[in-house]
Structure 1
Amino acid sequence: MRSPVEIGKTAKPVHTFEQDKLAFPNAPERNFSLVENQEKMKASLAKVRSELGNYYPLIIDGKEIKTEKEIKSVNPARPSEIVGRTASASQKEAQMAIDAAKKAFPAWRDTPPEKRAEYFLKAADLLEQERDEHAALQVYEVGKNWREADADVCETIDYLRYYAQEMIRLGKPKRLGPVAGETNDYFYQPKGIAVIIPPWNFPMAICAGMTTAALVAGNAAIVKPASQSPIIAYKFVDLLRRVGIPNGVVNFLPGPGSEIGDFIVTSPDVHMIAFTGSREIGCRIYRLAAEVQPGQNHLKKVIAEMGGKNAIIVDSDADLDEAVLGTIQSAFGYQGQKCSACSRVIVMESCYDTFLSRLTEAARSLRIGMPEDPGNFMGPVIDANAKKTILGYIETGKKEARLVLERDVSHLGDGYFIGPTIFAEVPPAATIAQEEIFGPVLAVMKAKNLDEALEIALGTSYALTGGIFSRSPANIARVREEFRIGNLYINRKITGAVVARQPFGGFKMSGIGSKAGGPDYLLQFMDPRTVTENTLRRGFAPEED
């Protein structure tokens, strides 16, 4: 092991002013302390409420298709309130969507990258005009508070613009290897048909990110949304239709995974699957996609983001005020329903008791209630199954560790509410310290030193996000090198990755694929080609451009 002195000398990336000129302009989040922005959001909430209960069809080859079966999307804060109803696809409609994508693909593939990018830049501009309505829908359909909902829409705008700009960059062939009498061109072509399976927790941003990447790269896509958030996904697909994207290029296919999930994943006409969700489903998709089906003449690409068991380390010299704030935001923001959320905090013995006391009181003060009230920090978890699962983990935690906080939320009615829950003295091998809970449950763990803290932090099957609060340059440098995870955050919260600034994704059982919102992401949706030409003519080599 290298000494702290050696680690402290580790070279950091060099910053250049040229990077500032090329910085991607992220969409700014709303400042809801301004009365003007509050009024816009209130008006949008009222407008969306007036539309609750509407019906949304499938979209296949540009046509709206109704089905006998329906998916009912409910407000998790008021389960009796139906946000909307969507058509529910069977294998018949799923095959129609595959056929439509297959038919649309050749012309879309051959559309110049700059022309494809224009659709998504226009969609970003349109979404920016309508952003408050889309955020308001998230408040009702998935229980996000104002800030979380607005941030999701901003991330969507960023994905649309960033991937459009990236495709313009990648769409230009590269001339390689200057050799007299020969040219060598390197360029990309799309894979074919992409199946997009987004989650409900970032119902527009991740849906848009995966779909935009597939489409702008020249693939045709089938979007199968999460059953908890199909209306938000419909609104995104409809946004693309409104800016004129050709029929069949993107198809909207809500339906039960048990009926159409395996069917579309195993179709011999599908070339790739982009998935974000549970480890169980992600591994199943990976296995099914690996099997070559009759009539299939390609190997399928799978991009899968499958969660984490993320840890924050609190060093003995940390600013505890900042550490408490960062942990609260990371563990309980959006009720802990983020793959990047902090579910473990590993604290040095010397400051453990003080940190735990401050953390507990801070969590006790959090406001919980209806997400349309901007004063509430926490709202409901997504559905009854999630609530049951989380409560089961809490009961397990009571047998494994010391419960220090459990909030009573019974006064909030029949919504799927769970308050912030904190356990102390949690053993590293405990169930609540190893398994992803996906809810507002935090395990506080004690470490003698940084060696033990890193051992605990890395002692799970995941490697997605993590962080450290420390004032020690040597310890920070060591953590940068040894805390091997996808996204490491130092002296700040570990959630809220921003497109182009913090490309997001992990490894181990956190998933497979390059980082979303980064310069490598689009490459996964394309195949590279090399064309070599002998340019000698009658014994001479012409000048090359």
Structure 2
Amino acid sequence: MGSTGDSGNGKAGWWCRRSSSPSSSSTASSSTPSRTFETRDPRTGDVLAHIAEADKADVDIAVKAAREAFEHGKWPRMSGYERSRVMNKLADLVEQHADELAALDGADAGKLLTLGKIIDMPAAAQMLRYYAGAADKIHGESLRVAGKYQGYTLKEPIGVVGVIIPWNFPTMMFFLKVSPALAAGCTVVVKPAEQTPLSALYYAHLAKLAGVPDGVINVVPGFGPTAGAALSSHMDVDSIAFTGSAEIGRTIMESAARSNLKNVSLELGGKSPMIVFDDADVDMAVSLSTLAVFFNKGEICVAGSRVYVQEGIYDEFVKKAVEAAKNWKVGDPFDAATNMGPQVDKVQFERVLKYIEIGKNEGATLLTGGKPTGDKGYYIEPTIFVDVKEDMTIAQEEIFGPVMSLMKFKTVEEAIEKANCTKYGLAAGIVTKNLNIANMVSRSVRAGTVWVNCYFAFDPDAPFGGFKMSGFGRDQGMVAIDKYLQVKSVITAVPDSPWY
């Protein structure tokens, strides 16, 4: 488990043993669990490190540390300006250690090293600084109360926040949840995905160096049925922020309801449509669609995996999309020439291959890809299906891999109907030169984010979250702080006031 406190005084410690480097040292606190689990390199399948495995007892220790820090510690009682200074210092440390952090995520999750350095780490620092800037701007309102009273509202930190994050963007997901919680004055307990715990442990260490007080950030690596379940059902956790599958999101809601009715925010799965109209620049549309599906090996919740192309350019689009997929280089994520690394682990690798087989068995036509590649590791070729029907499994279920379903449409109305023909509603893409079409479709598609003539255009100021079974609550933007705050009304009698 990890924490900003490792003094052995009841606060969780941070620890891992690197199996691949016998000369490296390890640090352990008195709360180190006796069990460990392996995290593996998806490039080879080899063990990277043995990580201390947190169970219910360890989660109890971490929550107790977070509760102590919240009820009696400095962090919630600091001014917003003081919290801002510490958060900016942590952002500085993320930038200073960007190379090694990108390498950790590259080795642990199969993410491209180059993109980690130029996208993930700078974006994490930007997220921290965005909310650091918001920390001293949290305030309530004056109320015009009827009668001889005066009133105002206070916005106060909700308390101890449990954060459960997935493996596809270990760094970004960590700071997406932790940054606004810190700005609000909360303390947090983070359970990283068991596949990718390394960078989260390192962030606990950097938080300590930045001056985050003991117990404010606690990291508990472990598994969902043990550590995750203990966190989501804990009676002393006030809020849960989760990103992951709809199935687990439902389980977390049930746990929260059965325990203390804690606040829950969920960013769940997606099956996002990419809608390309006849007037689009075909080369640009192919480039965007390729990126939308194959970026991060398809392991991204907003992947534009359902590509709808209007019939006038469909044949040309298909030809160029296949060519682009064949030119999309799959290989070592530490190689700067690589476009796509391996799936995160063997389980996900086999899951994606199973979906590809289902697509073929249900009658879709495989145009390219569909097979493992390389002598070792969890690499899959970029895959494109055509002749896909809306009721097919590959058009309805989130694959979370490099699989594109290409479909044809005739009219704008048909495109909207097809785009909404799924239980998810996380994101959508539109490619057109016609402003009226762009506006009409943007208003009609049921998705939390709509990108027009672009894709993956994220910004800390733009709220992000889903409709339907893609969850509720928003990350990013000032609205994200609200889920870590409670509003209190204060009414005071003023019987001698001359104004009533």
Return the TM-score normalized by structure 2: 0.91
Gaps of 5+ in 2: 1-17
The corresponding residue for 1:518 is: 477
In structure 1, the partner of 2:8 is: none
State yes or no: 1:459 paired with 2:421: yes
Asked whether 1:413 is paired with 2:367, we answer no
Contact 2:446 2:467 in 1 (8 A): no
**Aligned-residue identity in percent:** 35
> Aligned AA for 1:386?
Q
1:87 aligns with 2:52: yes
SS at match of 1:342: coil
What whole-Å deviation, never above 9, does each CA across 1:461-481 have from its counterpart, x for those lacking one? 011111111122221121121
Query: Equivalents in 2 of 1:53, 1:156: separation in Å?
Result: 31
1:322-341 residue pairs with structure 2 within 5 A? 322-341=284-303
**Residue 431 of structure 1, aligned match among 383, 386, 393:** 393
2: CA distance, partners of 1:110 / 1:52? 43
Cα distance in structure 2, aligned partners of 1:179 and 1:352: 64
Deviation string, structure 1 residues 90-135 (Cα, Å, up to 9, x no partner): 2221211121112111133333332222221111122122222211
User: What is the alpha-carbon distance in structure 2 between the residues aligned to residue 287 and residue 178 of structure 1?
Assistant: 38
Q: How does 1:267-286 map to 2 (within 5 A)?
A: 267-286=234-253
User: Structure 1 CA distance, aligned partners of 2:381 and 2:149?
Assistant: 67
Q: Is 1:527 paired with 2:470?
A: no
Contact 2:20/2:48 (<8 A) preserved: no
Aligned to 1:116: 83
Residue 136 of structure 2 corresponds to 168
Task: Encode CA deviations 1:11-45: one digit per residue, 9 max, x unaligned.
Answer: xxxxxxxxxxxxxxxxxxxxxxxxxxxxxxxxxxx
The answer on 1:498 being equivalent to 2:459 is yes
For 2:37, the aligned partner's letter is I
| Deviation for aligned residue 1:55 | 7.2
Matched letter for residue 163 of structure 1 = Y
Distance of 2:116 and 2:80 partners within structure 1: 31
Deviation of residue 154 (structure 1)?
Answer: 1.8
Secondary structure, counterpart of 2:339 in structure 1:
coil
Corresponding residue to 1:138 among 97, 105, 112: 105
> Are the counterparts in 2 of residues 57 and 65 from structure 1 also a CA contact under 8 Å?
no
Alpha-carbon offset, residue 407 of structure 1: 5.8
SS in 1 for 2:312: helix
Unaligned 5+ segments in structure 1 are 1-47
CA distance in 2, matches of 1:432, 1:55: 46
Candidates 299, 309, 332, aligned match of 2:271? 309
Following superposition, the deviation at residue 317 of structure 1 comes to 1.1
The offset of 1:177, in angstroms, is 3.0
- Which residue does the alignment assign to 2:10? none
Amino acid at match of 1:87: A
The DSSP-based 3-state class of the residue aligned with 1:361 is helix
How big is each residue's C-alpha offset from its partner over 1:238-278, in whole Å with a ceiling of 9 and x where there is no partner? Answer: 11111121111221111122222222211211111111111
Residue 471 of structure 1, aligned match among 433, 437, 440: 433
- In the other structure, the counterpart of 2:44 is 78
* Equivalent runs, 1:207-286 vs 2, <5 Å: 207-286=174-253
Cα 1:178/1:129, change in 2 over 3 Å: farther
1:461–1:509: 8 Å Cα contact kept in structure 2?
yes
State the distance in 1 between where 2:25 and 2:167 align: 19
Shift of 1:496: 4.5
Deviations 1:371-412 (A, max 9, x none): 0000000110000000111000000111221110116553x2
* Distance 1:104-1:87 versus aligned 2 partners, 3 A rule: same
Structure 1 segment 473-492 matched on structure 2, within 5 A: 473-492=435-454
The 3 A distance-change label for structure 1 pair 341 and 207 is same
Q: Given residue 531 of structure 1, which amino acid in structure 2 is its aligned partner? A: V
Shift of 1:483: 1.4
State the distance in 2 between where 1:467 and 1:208 align. Answer: 25
The one-letter code of the counterpart of 1:404 is L
One-letter amino acid of the structure 1 residue matched with residue 366 of structure 2: L
> What is the alpha-carbon distance in structure 2 between the residues aligned to residue 530 and residue 86 of structure 1?
45
Moved more, 223-232 or 527-536: 527-536
Q: What CA distance in whole angstroms lies between the structure 2 residues aligned with 1:313 and 1:203?
A: 29
8 Å CA contact 1:167, 1:522 repeated in 2: no
Q: Residues 498 and 56 from structure 1, CA distance in 2 versus in 1: closer, same or farther, beyond 3 angstroms?
A: farther
Alignment: residue pair count: 479
* Distance in 2 between residues matched to 1:330 and 1:248, nearest whole Å: 39
CA distance in 2, matches of 1:491, 1:188: 39
Which of 406, 426, 432 is residue 444 of structure 1 equivalent to?
406
What residue in structure 2 maps to residue 403 of structure 1? 366
Question: Are 1:266 and 1:289, in contact at CA under 8 Å, matched by a contact in 2?
Answer: yes
Instruction: Give distance in 2, aligned partners of 1:530 and 1:220.
Output: 23
Shift of 1:212: 2.2
Could you say what secondary structure the match of 1:78 adopts?
A: coil
CA distance in 2, matches of 1:531, 1:143: 51
> Retained in 1: the 8 A contact 2:105–2:198?
no
Q: What is the Cα deviation at residue 531 of structure 1?
A: 1.5
Alignment of 1:354-373 (within 5 A): 354-373=316-335
Query: What is the aligned partner in structure 2 of residue 39 from structure 1?
Result: none
**Contact (CA 8 Å) 1:57, 1:86: kept in 2 or not?**
no
Secondary structure of the 1:350 match is coil
Instruction: Letter of the 1:97 partner, please give it.
Output: A
Distance 1:508 1:407, change over 3 A: closer
Distance 1:167 1:53 in 2: 42
Output the CA distance in 2 between the equivalents of 1:56 and 1:255.
18
Decide whether the 8 Å contact of 2:134 with 2:183 is kept in 1: no
The match for 2:13 is: none
Label 1:275 to 1:432 Cα distance change in 2 as closer, same or farther (>3 A): same
- How far the C-alpha of 1:173 sits from its partner, in A, is 3.9
Aligned residue in 2 for 1:159: 127
Residues 19 and 49 in structure 2, CA contact (< 8 A), matched pair in contact too: no
Contact 2:164–2:228 under 8 Å retained in 1? no
For the aligned residue pairs, the C-alpha RMSD in angstroms reads 2.3
C-alpha separation between the residues in 2 aligned to 1:173 and 1:468? Answer: 39
Query: Which AA in structure 1 matches 2:428?
Result: G
Deviations 1:443-500 (A, max 9, x none): 001112111111111000011111111122221121121112111011112x242221
> Which whole-Å deviations, capped at 9, do the CAs of 1:265-319 have from their partners, x for residues lacking one?
112111111111111111110111112x3xx4xx311111112000101101111
1:346 pairs with 2:308: yes
1:21 alignment partner in structure 2: none
